[in-house]
Chain A
Amino acid sequence: MAAPGSAAQTTQPLASVPDRAEPATTVSGVPIDPLYTECNLEPLDGRRETQLGEPGCYPFTRGIHPTMYRGRLWTVRQFAGFGTPKQTNERFHFLLKQGQTGLSTAFDLPTLMGLDSDSPRALGEVGRLGVAVDTVDDIRELFQGIDLEKISVSMTINSPAIVIMAFFLVHAEESGFDWRKLRGTIQNDILKEFHAQNEFVFPPEPSVRLVVDLIEFCTEHVPQWNTVSISGYHIREAGSTAVQELAMTLADGMHYVEQCLARGLPVDSFAPRLSFFFNAHNDLFEEIAKYRAARSLWADLMRNRYGAREESSLKLRFHAQTAGCSLQDRQPEVNLMRVAYQALAAVLGGCQSLHTNSMDETLSLPSEHAVTLAVRTQQVLAYETGVPNTVDPLGGSYFVETLTEQMRREAEAYFEKIQSRGGMIRAIETGFFRREIAESAFAWQQAVDTRQKIVVGMNAFEESEEKPCDLHEVDPTVEQEQVEKLQSLRERRNATDWQAVLDELRRVAAENRNVLPALLQAARARATVGEIMDALADVFGRYAPGGESG
């Protein structure tokens, strides 16, 4: 295609169009050769056995299961949450009826920041981007009528993750579910908040300690629970390249592993329950290479650096979500196509579960119609395209194997860079990750502004008439309803109970003991998220956003 401008140009036969003037690069700016051949694989010679292997075998480049989707399809897991717990509960039941096989919870910003719905800082944000949760009673309403021994549940929350986990466990206990049978995931990945998403409360070190507390407790008492979802998704959304996403995510994983080892946990006790969460962006082959490289890098690290012996410790399992940042608010229906290709990348890359974005997500919370189409996108992929019929269909491709190897090497170079900056915590404190991501984000924006990169409907193929989508409206009474419910609870509960429990929590936190048992007590006493987080902040302090602006 020549420089795009009008749809009419696309009627030219492709063969008659000369090479494009600008060099072909991936979405991350990596140059791509016009042709890949056997020669490209030479650097891999002698290492093919160790770098590629068979599906289900070390280093798992080709997938973590020998049969992959022949055995079992990926889990369709759509992120949902808005308004009151009751409203989200209704959406959960709707999604299950649509054929979704797992639940995924979005919390509102006040909850994510550890604030109660009646905090002055929460004004206008209660129940807006997710569900509002203040106490264990809200968790009960949220999962009303859902069999937690059957349906796996994912909860996207980080700084207060351990508090919400305590609420969840108390709810399970009070509803008669066996902790040992609970299946699900809590994101519990604070490091990427410091790199990218800015939802943190405490300084990096005590924040990581809480992550490890959760891992330690669940390893013993909730053995089927995925204790962390080590996330590159948000790093990518903040503007990183694919390699940065890969490298920073694995580096975060390494830091958690090292902290767990320092706590004295045997590596094979907790490593099998670490999971990952990656972005599925626009560049099909780059994304596929990213997932394949991730698996082999992790297997190598776990076996050779951390001495894991169990096969389940070596396997990188991951959830993927299509790239929210790739969605456009103009011609929103075009987002359906973007999402479909991104989902294809995730599946060709061997994901274990997948969220497909709804086309209207840049405009508002998704409408039911848009959510349904997003789920259907996965169903078409699963049942009509034939893609799941064979394992790692692109394995051995000159191009994909070359890209995969390139990714591995570049990620390893990044690990070195982090080390040379004094390790994870120092690199956070000096703003290393944020600067790296900001550079990439700026480079991308410039490429789009100068039309070196084309975004359909945005800087090319624009349409003058915009058809508005049917939008989901947030109910304006949610905030009031949630606040009233919370305040009536504050009046009802026994004041001496929850205050004594919080004093105990402060003690445990200060003494460096695992805080989860004290949090279970706090949950039972109906202490709120905000009260608990404030008590922890008394001990840990609060962390101000760095604000490196360069």
Chain B
Amino acid sequence: MMTPPGIAPRIVLSKIGLDGHDRGIRIVARGLRDAGFHVIYAGIWQSPEAVVQAALDEDAGWLGISLLSGAHMTLVPRVLELLRTRGLDNVGVIIGGIIPNDDATKLTELGVKGIFGPGTSVPQIVDFLRTSAKSAEPADLVQRFVQKDRRALSRLLTLAARGELPEAVLRETRASVNNGGPRTSRTVALSGSGGVGKSSLIGRLVEFLRSLGQTVAVLCCDPESPLTGGALLGDRVRISKPAEDMGLFIRSLPARAGQQGIAEHLDVMMELLQLFGFQTVILETVGAGQGDTAVYGLADALVVLLQPETGDELQWEKAGLLEVADVVVVHKADLPGADATFSQVHELLNLPGSRAVPVLKVSAAKRAGLQELWDTLQGVPQRSQRDAR
């Protein structure tokens, strides 16, 4: 079946092994985005296990691997093998790099769909991906979801993201998982301007929570081009490690322009992740501005990140995003000016008579303030309880 019109194909791009020459893969990533693809860039130094997990969790139709190290005959067969054992035969693998003819023949026999050498143009790759056939939709999604089949979760999330998950299916899933029992998982949303360090901080939080043995799911939003419908989704790189970790689930989501920095149908996706059993679900918005308050209400706690400012006056106003924040983080606290920004924010938010909002200094770079942030987040009541009050 060809990709239905209007639905951008999803491709994970990554480099496996030790070679870090990423000129080619970055060009391809951009070129595919401009051609309307949703490109999930998973970075360099990845293990075969990690890229296969990325393809699984991202529900990607394609997995593009670049390697110039000459280790392709060791690493690529391992990727294909893992895809098979995880039941991901439907993921089409393409390879970019220096692959001698004999090796190319062998890799094609093993199941690699396309091999692109150094002289390949981006349009050639686009044409190839557009014309290659994709396999059919899997069946029994709910039943497999209940049996903790990650592929079913991944596909249900895709359907939810497109708004194609029937309400009945969601209800059925809900009923078969918890029979209406109380929810034990927590949800957190992080918002703030682009570049403030949301993904980096989520990466640290994940590290922290995983070290406590908690399972975590992350939904990251990045902008989708209003012109081509393409998107280059790069948050994953800052959050994941190069090795496999089934206790961590990351899904990258394109957010349309005019949606206040979040993808649509996030409520359903967050619920699915909780139903699947992830103990903490974290949401990252696209770089948001002060007026982008739509994220409010999606999670138990809304964390708004600010960074040290160089000007004298705090650029943020209380109205808007800060007004609905449950916790405000002055991030990049390792940078000069953090203390000044901290005092200003504190003053702005904690005027006598107003709702007290915790303000914390955190640095992802220095791994500072994570414990305190987590403790504070746990003090924020679950949204359902708050709504009931």
**Inside 8 A of A362's CB, which chain B residues have their CB?**
98, 118
A442 to B27, CA, bound (A): 6
Min Cβ gap A203→B in Å is: 9
**Inside 8 A of A123's CB, which chain B residues have their CB?**
71, 74-75
**Is B69 in contact with A125, judged by CB distance below 8 angstroms?**
yes
A239 to B101, CA, bound (A): 26
**Is A550 in contact with B117, judged by CB distance below 8 angstroms?**
no
Flag whether B92 is at the interface (Cβ < 8 A).
no
Given A110-B18, A113-B18, A442-B27, the answer on whether A549 and B232 have CB atoms closer than 8 Å is yes
**Is B234 in contact with A125, judged by CB distance below 8 angstroms?**
no
A365 to B43, CA, bound (A): 26
**Is B17 in contact with A124, judged by CB distance below 8 angstroms?**
yes
Flag whether A176 is at the interface (Cβ < 8 A).
no
Flag whether A364 is at the interface (Cβ < 8 A).
yes
Q: Using a Cβ–Cβ cut-off of 8 Å, how many residues does chain A contribute to the interface with B?
A: 47
Q: Using a Cβ–Cβ cut-off of 8 Å, how many residues does chain B contribute to the interface with A?
A: 39
**Is A548 in contact with B69, judged by CB distance below 8 angstroms?**
no
Tell me the nearest residue of chain B to A113, going by C-beta.
B18
**Inside 8 A of B17's CB, which chain A residues have their CB?**
109, 124-125
**Inside 8 A of B73's CB, which chain A residues have their CB?**
124
**Inside 8 A of B23's CB, which chain A residues have their CB?**
237-239, 325, 438, 441
**Inside 8 A of B44's CB, which chain A residues have their CB?**
198, 545, 547
**Is A128 in contact with B234, judged by CB distance below 8 angstroms?**
no
Flag whether A445 is at the interface (Cβ < 8 A).
yes
Flag whether B22 is at the interface (Cβ < 8 A).
yes
Tell me the nearest residue of chain A to B234, going by C-beta.
A549
- Which residue of B19, B31, B117, B232 has the most chain A CB atoms within 10 A of its CB atom? B19
Flag whether B29 is at the interface (Cβ < 8 A).
yes
A122 to B69, CA, bound (A): 11
Min Cβ gap B366→A in Å is: 10
**Is B119 in contact with A549, judged by CB distance below 8 angstroms?**
no
Flag whether A396 is at the interface (Cβ < 8 A).
no
Flag whether A287 is at the interface (Cβ < 8 A).
no
**Is A445 in contact with B122, judged by CB distance below 8 angstroms?**
yes
User: Can you list, as one digit per residue, whether each of A432-457 has a CB less than 8 Å from chain B (1) or not (0)?
Assistant: 00000010011001001100000100
**Is A458 in contact with B100, judged by CB distance below 8 angstroms?**
no
**Is B101 in contact with A468, judged by CB distance below 8 angstroms?**
yes
**Is B122 in contact with A125, judged by CB distance below 8 angstroms?**
no
A358 to B278, CA, bound (A): 54
Flag whether B70 is at the interface (Cβ < 8 A).
yes
**Is A364 in contact with B98, judged by CB distance below 8 angstroms?**
yes
**Is B45 in contact with A109, judged by CB distance below 8 angstroms?**
no
Q: Taking beta carbons and an 8 Å cutoff, which residues of B are in contact with A?
A: 17-23, 26-27, 29-31, 41, 43-45, 47, 69-71, 73-75, 98, 100-101, 117-119, 121-123, 195, 232-234, 237-238, 365
Task: Beyond the given A124-B74, A198-B21, please list 16 additional residue pairs across the A-B interface where CB-CB is below 8 A.
Answer: A109-B18, A110-B18, A122-B18, A124-B71, A124-B75, A125-B19, A198-B20, A363-B98, A365-B70, A430-B195, A442-B27, A459-B121, A471-B100, A548-B234, A549-B29, A549-B233
Chain A to chain B: the 7 pairs with minimum beta-carbon distance, closest first: A198-B20, A124-B74, A547-B237, A549-B234, A124-B71, A109-B18, A549-B41
Q: Taking beta carbons and an 8 Å cutoff, which residues of A are in contact with B?
A: 109-110, 112-113, 115, 121-125, 128-129, 197-199, 237-239, 325, 328-330, 362-365, 429-430, 438, 441-442, 445, 448-449, 455, 458-459, 468, 471, 474, 544-550
Between-chain CB contacts (< 8 Å), 10 pairs: A109-B18, A123-B74, A123-B75, A125-B19, A125-B70, A329-B118, A364-B70, A442-B30, A449-B121, A545-B20
